[in-house]
Amino acid sequence: MRIAGAVRTVVAAAACTVLLTSCGSGSDDASGSGQRSGQAKEAEHGEGSRARAAEAGRIPDVGDRLQAKIPEDSRQVVAVYGDGVNSADSTVVLYTKTGKTDSTWEKARTWPAHNGKKGWTTDHRENDKRSPVGVFTLTDAGGVLADPGARLPYTKSVSMQAPHYWPKTHWHDFDYVIAIDYNRAKGTPPNDPTRPQGQTKGGSIWLHMDHGSGTSGCVSLSKSGMAYLLRTLDPKQHPVVVMGDKTNLAT
């Protein structure tokens, strides 16, 4: 049995293989539109509609298709609102239910973020530079840095270090990582190479630290944001991520 926050060991050779095809690709550059203020992006996504949806016990701006995939026992949702299907800009919002009988999602924190440099897809493929649309559980975390007090099981390993032949702006991408359970084995370190749906469906889709532009499929936000999520997401609350561009989210 694993204990949340316990440090696990990983095989460096396998990790390097995964990292070369993960979201922090050396082909990413500063051609993305860059980060914008969280306040401006909040306005674009419609603060009023979010509040009304939250009152109805729903994650704001998420349609029936994805809403139905949120587990009934989940009390923490990381929502990633992509600006557009071909945009690398997004906003991350943490929603929580505070009481055991509370059916209302309350907005806890908001951060500007980035997703795949080519946007979003409902049929993610290896190296397509798009982030997968969907609802995915969050069960494992790790990074190059020491555990900041994570509630999810945390693996500290230098094998997650971004290769230094990548641009210097990317070297700290994986200081903190939360694995998104897309085509991966739950209960393993984020850089475990297992791909249950096969290699062509891609993998190593993570929440990780931002380098100022789009990723190769992951979602990235500030170091402080990652630290907050690591200290807040609790396996007992069954956290999930709901992610996609605003059109696919609303479907």
| pTM for this model (two decimals) | 0.83
Question: Are the CB atoms for 129 and 217 separated by under 8 Å?
Answer: yes
Q: How far apart are CA 90 and CA 111, in angstroms?
A: 9
* Domain covering 74-250, topology: L,D-transpeptidase catalytic domain-like (2.40.440)
Mark whether 218 is an active-site residue: yes
Paired tokens of 79: 């929502």
Strand (E) or helix (H) holding 112:
strand 106-114
Is residue 249 a contact partner of residue 66, using CB atoms and an 8 Å limit?
Answer: yes
Catalytic residue, chosen from 114, 211, 218, 238, is: 218
How many C-beta atoms surround the C-beta of residue 4 within 10 A? 13
How far is Cα 221 from Cα 210, in angstroms, rounded to an integer? 5
Which pLDDT score, from 0 to 100, does residue 35 have? 42
171: which 2 tokens? 């070297």
Active-site residue identified among 45, 208, 211, 238: 208
Is 16 one of the catalytic residues?
A: no
Would you give per-residue pLDDT tens digits along the chain (251 residues)? 444 444 454 333 344 434 444 564 444 333 333 444 444 444 334 444 444 445 468 999 999 999 999 999 999 999 999 999 999 999 999 999 987 777 899 999 999 999 999 999 999 999 999 999 999 999 999 999 999 999 999 999 999 999 999 999 999 999 999 999 999 999 999 999 999 999 999 999 999 999 999 999 999 999 999 999 999 999 999 999 999 999 999 99
